[in-house]
Amino acid sequence: MSEKYLSALLSVYSAEQVKQAEITAVKDSDISLFNLVERAASAVFEQLQSIDIPTKSVLILAGHGNNGADAYTTAAMLIKAGWSVCLQASVAQKPSEELVRAIAEFEEAGGYSTAFNIEKITQANVIIDGLLGTGVKGELSDELVSIINAVNNSVAWVLSLDVPSGIEPNTGWARQVAIEANMTLTFGAIKQGLLTSQARHCCGELILADIGLSPYLPQSNLKKLVSDDLPKVFKPRRRDSHKGDSGKVTVIGGDFGMSGAVRLASESSLRSGAGLVTVISRPEHQVVVCSTRPELMFWGCELVDMEVYLKLGWADVLVIGPGLGIADWGYNLLKAVDLAEKPSVIDADALNLLVQFTLTSKNWVLTPHPGEAARLLGVSIAEIEQDRFNAVRQLHAKYGGVIVLKGAGTLIYNGNECIVAPVGNPGLASGGCGDVLSGIIGALMAQGYDNMQAASLAVVIHGDAADLAAKDGERGMLASDLMPFIHQLVNQI
């Protein structure tokens, strides 16, 4: 992906990078840490004033750190504006200077705090979560677990300050439980974990509040990519272009009983703008593949012979894996793809074969879901999901190329740049949707996008197509439902 294009995307940071930016801002300017607390609280106050919530009576849960200082300072501002505020907190053993000052200003405004009360939490209509923020460390106390569960069991509209309490800001993982917010207002910069793993469910609407840290943040190789960025990339085609200019893709897969997978991948390649698409599959599958999509070409393969190598040589990009199976037929085709040394997309059963026959390449895109990633690395799925950023780095170190770690907040990594794409919806958790994605990636590669850019854009197109397809509901959405919307999205200029 070009440096110019990357610079236009929103940078994402670790919690440590944001903390260091706060320290640098205080050191190099005339602002204090409490000024930053005040700016954060002002952003919360303005956000609450700007949205339509059913009441001006709010329950605020305050912790011991600077997240608690944000909560107390917000409470003071709300009291002064005429809101009814109930603030619950426990006594801090070693409060920071910022927290001490925030408590004093809260009390000066007429506020007073009470102990945590589970019954009142479950009955609240609006809750502000200022318990932990980025300060989650190790196991949560039994009291915090009870409070978080009470919030999640309530009918309240919930706003989390900076990070939903219980979510680890660098990974998005909740070790035990986490607040399930309707909205998260994060301060200074987007923390990387908020865009992936369990945070995708817990954050609700994620909003960035600018508190003046931008000049003090470092350059980041981690970027957020969403649909708003698509028009910056796609260009109109020349009026004198022909099908050869739009790329040739060969899709390989579909062992016995799995013709649907290769059919979906090949059609999504066509819908994504590839000029010509050939399918290599079992001869028995020609009718299934071509009868309803005659634009596809087909080559029946019983054995990997010279004709197969010619078909591989014809293509600009190879997509292998959908329905491939893990028997000798599939392995021999994967070996042929490796020998062809063409830009490739490796998906589904081709990934499972890599577990048995480790190959590496600089010129392929691997698209594992968490289960496949776990097999590729020889770890559990839970270990993948607990730190998806670490997992994608390990996958690249072992296999090379571009890694697309699918899931809630898909990660795309090439060893230098990392893109996180918080797109799509749970309707994608159905058979065939991954095959559709591999076809989109292959088509964009064939049209001249580099592997990193093709993979990143394809993930966003795939996710946005799923959102459009799910307008009547996510449950029961089919992979084939995405096709007309893929066509629509790749024509955004």
**Residues 35-60 pLDDT 10s:** 999 999 999 999 999 988 878 899 99
CA distances to 85, 109, 239, 266, 488 from 366, in Å: 51, 57, 34, 17, 26
Kindly report the CATH class assigned to 228-489. alpha beta
Ranking 2-16, 149-163, 351-365 by mean pLDDT, the lowest is: 2-16
CA–CA distances in Å: residue 436 to residues 148, 292, 354, 481: 38, 16, 21, 10
Percentage of the chain beyond pLDDT 70 is 98
100: which 2 tokens?
């001490």
For residue 5, pLDDT over 60 is answered with: no
* For residue 6, pLDDT beyond 60: no
Cα dihedral sign, 119-122-128-132: positive
Q: Radius of gyration of the chain from Cα atoms?
A: 25
Kindly report the average pLDDT of the chain as a whole number: 94
Instruction: Spell out the residues 6+ positions from residue 219 whose beta carbon is closer than 8 angstroms to its own.
Output: 11
Res 237: pLDDT: 85
Task: For residue 250, give both structure tokens.
Answer: 């060969």
Q: Is the pLDDT of residue 149 over 80?
A: yes
Nearest CA among 131, 255, 124, 280 for reference residue 202: 131
Of the listed ranges 181-195, 221-235, 241-255, 313-327, the least confidently predicted one is 221-235
188 CB burial (10 A radius; 0-12, 13-18, 19+):
buried
For the cut 60, the answer to whether the pLDDT of residue 2 exceeds it is: no
**CA proximity to 440, closest of 269, 316, 317:** 269
The residue ranking higher by pLDDT, 2 or 428, is 428
Quick one: CA dihedral 324, 326, 329, 335, positive or negative?
Answer: positive
State the pLDDT confidence band at 3, using cuts at 50, 70 and 90.
low
The tokens describing 27, both together, are 């050191």
Q: How far is CA 143 from the centre of its chain?
A: 31
Structure tokens at 205: 């609407």
* pTM (two decimals): 0.95
CA–CA separation, 330 vs 319, rounded Å?
Answer: 13
The residue with tokens 């001006």 is 56
Q: Residues 444-472: pLDDT tens digits? A: 999 999 999 999 999 999 999 999 999 98
The CATH label, of 3.30.420.10, 3.40.50.10260, 3.60.15.10, 3.40.190.10, for the domain at 17-219 is 3.40.50.10260
- In the chain, list all ranges with CATH 3.40.50.10260: 17-219
Is the torsion defined by CA of 455, 456, 458, 459 positive or negative?
A: positive
Q: Which of 130, 89, 83 is nearest to 113 (CA)?
A: 89
Mean pLDDT of 237-264: 93
Per-residue confidence (pLDDT) for residue 1, from 0 to 100: 47
Which residues of the chain are in CATH 3.40.1190.20 domains? 228-489
Instruction: Give the C-alpha separation, 454 to 444, whole Å.
Output: 5
493 falls in which pLDDT band (50, 70, 90)?
low
Per-residue pLDDT averaged across 409-431, rounded?
Answer: 96
